[in-house]
């Protein structure tokens, strides 16, 4: 992994959450101007991370959450034999860094899969403000809960699904999250490599490639390098649901 020194990819600019087009994704709705002003004051720093650069590393002290403004990240941990195990993919409009809340240290590396920009949200200031602004507290809890549900879903996915079911569920989840951010319901550009998808899904690289080819042959998806077009969403849902029907 490309270890970029922190000082080379830091850029501090004043930013206003109240004017941010991602506001409805990472900030609670219904705040008045004064409350928004206070959040603006907290989230005063943006950080730019180059592709391959690290936002935070496993073991580093946890001080902030990060709202991804642009770009795509993967979180990963090094396994005992020195490989990188991908634990998740995060995109614009999502919050990253929640892993550090429990022990005040980050438990994974967060690596940019493309040039990215994040808003830095110092956690102690957020906690302080959320005690006064219940809408914010509720929202922080909602974000954490969503992460827990997502991770639980991944564990179910890895626990019992065959390769086709894992890849189908992965593509459906990705396109659904992108759609919530205003992107197409059927087309996506994979920011991660097939190897990284395999690492996340617990599949070998050749299994991922073979499964993609199978989906192409069956007319479910169209693949051109990293561009994926879903031709038959119902077929993908059918693959995932056949699994649930068996249990």
Q: Would you state the pLDDT for residue 66?
A: 92
Q: What tens digit of pLDDT does each residue of 195-243 get? A: 999 999 999 999 999 999 999 999 999 999 899 999 999 999 999 887 5
- pTM comes to 0.82
Of 15-24, 87-96, 193-202, give the lowest mean pLDDT range: 15-24
| Backbone angles phi and psi of 114, in degrees to 5 | -155, 165
Distance CA 85, CA 108 (A): 10
Q: Which residue has the tokens 């004043």?
A: 14
Distance CA 60, CA 157 (A): 29
| Number of residues that this document lists for the chain | 247
- Share the mean pLDDT of the chain: 83
């Amino acid at each position: 992994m490309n270890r970029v020194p922190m000082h080379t990819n830091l850029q501090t600019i004043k930013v206003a959450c109240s004017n941010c087009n991602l506001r409805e994704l990472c900030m609670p709705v219904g705040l008045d101007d004064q409350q928004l002003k206070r959040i603006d004051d907290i989230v005063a720093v943006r950080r730019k991370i180059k592709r391959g650069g690290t936002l935070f590393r496993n073991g580093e002290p946890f001080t902030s959450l990060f709202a991804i403004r642009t770009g795509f990240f993967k979180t990963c941990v090094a396994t005992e034999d020195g490989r990188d195990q991908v634990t998740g993919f995060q995109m614009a409009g999502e919050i990253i860094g929640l892993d550090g809340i429990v022990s005040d240290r980050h438990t994974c590396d967060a690596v940019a899969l493309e040039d990215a920009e994040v808003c830095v949200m110092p956690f102690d200031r957020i906690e302080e403000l959320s005690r006064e602004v219940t809408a914010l507290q509720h929202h922080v809890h909602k974000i954490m809960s969503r992460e827990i549900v997502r991770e639980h879903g991944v564990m179910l996915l890895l626990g019992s699904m065959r390769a086709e079911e894992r890849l189908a569920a992965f593509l459906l989840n990705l396109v659904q999250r992108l759609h919530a951010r205003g992107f197409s319901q059927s087309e996506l550009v994979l920011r991660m490599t097939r190897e990284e998808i395999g690492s996340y899904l617990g599949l070998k690289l050749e299994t991922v490639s073979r499964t993609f080819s199978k989906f192409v042959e069956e007319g479910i998806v169209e693949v051109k390098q990293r561009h994926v077009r879903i031709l038959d969403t119902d077929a993908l849902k059918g693959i995932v649901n056949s699994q649930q029907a068996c249990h």
